Amino acid sequence: MADKTLVCKDCGKEFIFTEGEQAFYKEKGFENEPLRCPECRKARKQQRRNNENRSFRK
Ligand SMILES: [Zn+2]
């Protein structure tokens, strides 16, 4: 296995899917490669959390 360069679906930037991450994905049984760079993944997580907070307060 070697590091792979993937293109983020959201921002179109290239990011590295490292050997270690590939091993992690395999171990977890994920068949798909990540579609987003770490920054976009983080941003989406944050956004989801914000949405949850909002609906919680209603
Ligand atoms: Zn991105």
CA of 42 to the centre of ligand 1 (A): 9
Domain that holds residue 37: 4-57
Structure confidence at residue 57 as a pLDDT band (50, 70, 90): low
CA of 11 to the centre of ligand 1 (A): 4
Structure confidence at residue 58 as a pLDDT band (50, 70, 90): low
Q: How many structural domains compose the chain? A: 1
CA pair distance 10, 44, nearest whole angstrom = 10
Q: Counting Cβ atoms within 10 Å, is residue 37 exposed (0-12), middle (13-18) or buried (19+)?
A: buried
Q: Is the pLDDT of residue 56 over 70?
A: no
pLDDT tens figures, 3-46: 999 999 999 999 999 999 999 999 999 999 999 999 999 999 99
Nearest Cα residue to 39 out of 57, 20, 21, 13: 13
pTM (two decimals): 0.74
CA pair distance 9, 49, nearest whole angstrom = 21
CA of 58 to the centre of ligand 1 (A): 31
- The pLDDT value recorded for residue 1 is 80
